Amino acid sequence: MLTGKVALITGATAGIGMATARLFAERGAKLLLTGRNEAAGKALAAELGGQFLAQDIAAPEAAARLVAWALGIHGRLDVLVNNAGVLFNGDVATCTDAEWDTIMAVNVTAVFRLCRAVVPVMAAQKSGVIVNVASDWGLVGAHDALAYGTSKGAVVQLTRSMAAD
């Protein structure tokens, strides 16, 4: 099902993103991987036969840069996996503004920007799939994870709203 499909996976240098990259490679996808850990990303891309671009996904220009990169290499983008995410522990009394802002920038705003950037590309292709990775913590409250749970709830609602449109 993924044979020959061009897939951009964010947060691909560890955890769910790395596992997704491995699975997509096994299924024949052309991998475009991104993350902040350049050494891990380059090693994974070399291992799986993909490409890697180190990127701070929260940077305002990141989405446009990643889509241009994908189109420059393959001329299309079939699958976007919005997986990058950060987590800081804290409740409403202990979560700092900096932690809140970082979590929202990476976990919500970057997801929105990438979706907004790829939708016109996929619409022009008349095909494409966007996978936004959330968490059950976005559906139910979780102890000591106020900002993270809030951010993942926002991703769930963003995804539902996109599907409704």
Residue 45: CATH number of its domain: 3.40.50.720
140 within some domain: yes
Query: Can you list the residues of the chain whose pLDDT is less than 70?
Result: none
63 within some domain: yes
Instruction: Beginning with the edge strand found earlier in the chain, give each strand of the sheet holding 30-35 in spatial order.
Output: 51-54, 30-35, 6-9, 79-82, 129-132
1 within some domain: no
| Segments forming the whole domain that contains residue 96 | 6-164
* pLDDT tens digits, one per residue of 40-61: 999 999 999 999 999 999 999 9
CA atoms within 13 A on the CB side of 144: 2
98 within some domain: yes
85 within some domain: yes
- d(C-alpha 49, C-alpha 57), whole Å: 22
114 within some domain: yes
Q: Is 137 designated active site?
A: no
53 within some domain: yes
Write phi, then psi, for 26 (nearest 5 degrees): -60, -30
Domain count, the chain: 1
pLDDT recorded at residue 50 = 98
Strand partners, 71: none
- d(C-alpha 32, C-alpha 84), whole Å: 14
pLDDT recorded at residue 34 = 98
pLDDT recorded at residue 1 = 83
Catalytic residue among 24, 52, 137, 148: 148
- C-alpha dist (Å) from residue 144 to 87, 140, 147: 10, 13, 9
